[in-house]
Structure 1
Amino acid sequence: MNQEKKNAQKYLKTAKGQIEGIIKMIDDERYCVDISNQIIAAQALLKKANSLIIKQHMTHCVKEAFQHDSGEEKIEEVMKLLDKLTK
């Protein structure tokens, strides 16, 4: 596993812990704004993890595909991802 994936995994595990905490906050009927702030924090971690995974894909998978003359397919995959991210 390369460094991007290791870092993404770390962010995802942290987000998992935050989400479990958010669920407990809801069960404990905590203040809505506090819950929302924690949801925003978890979303930020998910975005960071996704960015690292996309970076890993670009620097390894896409690069390798271009070296084997199949880069256009990978560009289309990345464009679809970017389209989803911007919606």
Structure 2
Amino acid sequence: MNEEKQAAMNLLKTARGQLDGIVKMIEDDRYCVDISKQILSAMALLKKANIDILDQHIRHCVRTAILEGEEQGDQKIDEIINIIEKYMK
């Protein structure tokens, strides 16, 4: 596993730990604002991991597809645009 993937993996593992903590906070009937802050923190980690994964995809898979041919490159670009559209909602 390369360095970029490992970094994304670490972010996801941290987010998973935060989610477990959030579940425990709810079970313990903790203060709602504190729970909300932890949810926002987990969401930020997931967004960062997603950006890292997409960055790597663009720099490797998309670049290779563009160099290999117009149709493959166009397909990869369409995939990225679809992801960006979902991200913007």
Query: What TM-score does the superposition give when structure 2 sets the normalisation length?
Result: 0.96
User: Once the 2 structures are TM-superposed, how far is the Cα of residue 4 of structure 1 from its aligned partner?
Assistant: 1.7
Partner of 2:11: 11
Structure number with the bigger relative contact order (C-alpha 8 A, sep ≥ 6) is 1
How many pairs were matched up? 87
Aligned match for 1:80, one of 79, 82, 85:
82
Instruction: Name the % identity.
Output: 54
Query: What TM-score does the superposition give when structure 1 sets the normalisation length?
Result: 0.98
Q: Which amino acid aligns with 2:82?
A: K
User: What is the 5 A alignment of 1:5-84?
Assistant: 5-69=5-69, 70-84=72-86
Contact 1:4-1:55 at 8 Å conserved across structures: no
